Amino acid sequence: MATKSKNSNKSNSKKQNKKSSSDRQDPFINFNFRVEIDGLEIFGFKEVDGLANETEVIEYKEGGVNNYTHKFVGQSKHSNITLKYGITNDKSIYEWRKQVLSMNIAKAKRTGTIKVMSGKKVLKRWSFYNAWPSKWEGPSFDALADAIAIDKLELAVERIEEK
CATH class of this structure's domain 28-60+70-162:
mainly beta
For residues 110-132, one letter each, b for 16 or more C-beta atoms within 10 angstroms of the residue's C-beta and e for the rest, the string is bebbbbbbeeeeeeebbbbeebb
Q: Phi and psi dihedrals of 150, rounded to 5? A: -115, 130
Residues of the chain with pLDDT under 70: 1-22, 24-31
Task: Give, in order, the Cα–Cα distances in Å from 104 to each of 50, 63, 96, 110.
Answer: 24, 50, 10, 12
Rounded to whole angstroms, the Cα distance separating 85 from 75 reads: 32
Looking at residue 135, what is its pLDDT? 95
pTM: 0.73
Instruction: Output the CA angle 113-162-86, nearest 5 degrees.
Output: 35
Looking at residue 17, what is its pLDDT? 56
Q: List the beta bridge partners of residue 76.
A: 55
Task: Give, in order, the Cα–Cα distances in Å from 14 to each of 7, 70, 105, 119.
Answer: 11, 46, 60, 36
- In one-letter notation, the amino acid at residue 158 is E
Sheet strands (E) in 61-120: 70-78, 81-86, 110-118
Looking at residue 59, what is its pLDDT? 96
Q: List the beta bridge partners of residue 21.
A: none
**DSSP-derived 3-state class of residue 136:** strand
Looking at residue 140, what is its pLDDT? 84
Rounded to whole angstroms, the Cα distance separating 118 from 54 reads: 29
For the chain, give the mean pLDDT: 83
